[in-house]
Homo-oligomer: A and B are copies of this chain.
Amino acid sequence: MNIEQSKETSKIEDVVIIGSGPAAHTAAIYAGRAALTPLMFEGLFASGVAAGGQLTTTTEIENFPGFLDISVPELMTKMRDQAAHWGTKIFTETVDSIDVSQSPFTVVSDSQTVKTKTIIIATGATAQRLGLPGEETYWQKGISACAVCDGALPIFRNKPMVVIGGGDTAAEEATFLTKFASTVHLLVRRGEMRASKAMQQRVFDNKKIKIHWNTEATEAVGEKLLTGVSVINSKTKETQTITASGLFYAIGHTPNTTFLDNQLELDSTGYIITKNGTPETSIPGVFACGDVQDKVYRQAITAAGSGCQAALLAERFIG
């Protein structure tokens, strides 16, 4: 280690925030106002997502309280500016690894190694996609990965929609979308659903939902907006194009936790396990907020709320 490096690592930060979405920025605003001068690693297209987080895969947001309708880049710029205003030092670098085996903790990015008393992890989760032909073209022009966020949009009102998936989320989203859709076509890859019996029954009982068993999507088709989804029955090899204004992916999310190298307790699907709805992880001084620890709500406002909690707990932890 040369002298410059050893100097660099001799400073111990109060808090390092990893992430760039509503959870990360809210944590930064609160940590900053508590005079902790937080460092934030917002990532450089980390996990394939732009700074601003998972929210940036949509264009408008109508359900963040205080904003009747705002573009996502505008909302995220406001939050980022607010974090910076309160003294957050933002690095557009992706964190490669952390070491929480001893205190102070270590955070390593491409260009630097930082020692810190606390870490707030807000790296989010990425909705899985199928990579269908037409998917990029019609993303947010009919295709979405969040029924709660986008189901109420006028383009879907009384129109047929397609949901892909066989788990609880797919069952929930299909049921939810029947409030808006004329018909919901549920594409299930196998001859049965993985969803709980209760959720399945809810789907079976809903006359607006038509289940397509053993069916996979092959293409998203449309003009300016999505108009339909081409599918194939994997048993009969029959193909058809289902007319639809909406296509909702409910095939799961991938929490962005591989860089943790299993140093924190994760559940079987890779989400960080937190304690009783607080942002506390299995390591005291390391907090997790937003979608990286939430597979139930996944909303910008719930992420922001948990970011505030993480910052207040970090402040108390430092004392």
Contacts and interface: CB of A to CB of B under 8 A. Distances in A.
Interface of A: 22, 25-26, 29-30, 33-35, 62-68, 70, 75, 78-79, 81-82, 85-86, 148, 151-152, 172, 175-176, 179-180, 202, 276-278, 296-297, 299, 301-309, 312, 315-316, 319
A141 B51 CA distance: 39
Contacts of A152: 33-35, 86
Contacts of A176: 34, 315
B66 A75 contact: yes
Nearest to A275: B277
Main secondary structure, interface of A, reads helix
A64 B22 CA distance: 11
Interchain residue pairs A-B with the least CB separation, the first 6 = A277-B277, A305-B305, A35-B179, A33-B152, A302-B305, A26-B65
A302 B309 contact: yes
Given A26-B65, A85-B68, A179-B34, A297 B312 contact: yes
A209 B22 CA distance: 35
Given A35-B152, A148-B312, A299-B305, 10 more contacts: A26-B65, A33-B152, A35-B179, A66-B75, A68-B81, A86-B152, A172-B316, A299-B312, A304-B305, A305-B306
Contact of A65 (B22, B172, B179, B296): B22
A10 B155 CA distance: 34
Contacts of A305: 299, 301-306, 308
A309 B66 CA distance: 17
A224 B78 CA distance: 33
Contacts of A79: 65-66
A64 B66 contact: yes
A86 B64 CA distance: 12
Nearest to A312: B297
A217 B65 CA distance: 39
A306 B65 CA distance: 12
Contacts of A307: 65, 301
